[in-house]
Amino acid sequence: MIKLVLFILLNFISYNAYGDSFTLNCTMNSYGNTTNVNVAKSWVNPVSKFVINGEEATYHYSGKSLSGSAQDKGDRLKIYFDRTVSMKSGTGTKKVKANMIIDYFYESKKIAADWRFVGFKDLGTVWGVCEKD
């Protein structure tokens, strides 16, 4: 009996550990809500990959990667990325904090990506669909 309970418990733990790690391969195909489509495509690639491992997330784009965090909200996954970028301001440049906020909806497999820039106009929402591996 103890062996059976142990077997079930180990399978349950390994299933949950595996369930916390997955990849979202996304096609971003709706840039209509953005301020400038070409600029939006430079910030949110038409083909985007997000690797989720528990509460850690990695965004893979243009041969680069960005680390962030993930939170399961039940019906959707919230993913957060932060970075500092240089933005043109007047005649010079200014270091600005940029925040990418992702909402991935489990049931519809849709994704919404927003880049927000402190002190500058936000990029707008880019929508797409993902395949979960």
All structural domains of the chain with their residue ranges: 2-132
Give 40-89 pLDDT, tens digit per residue.
998 899 999 999 999 999 999 888 999 999 999 999 999 999 999 888 87
Tokens (6 digits) for 130: 């993902």
For residue 113, what pLDDT is reported?
96
Residue 101 pLDDT exceeds 50: yes
d(CA 64, CA 62): 5
Residue 38 pLDDT > 80: yes
Please name every residue paired with 129 in a beta bridge, in sequence order, or none if there are none.
27, 110
Distance CA 65, CA 2 (A): 45
**65 or 91: whose pLDDT is higher?**
65
Q: pTM score, two decimals?
A: 0.80
| Percentage with pLDDT > 90 across the chain | 59
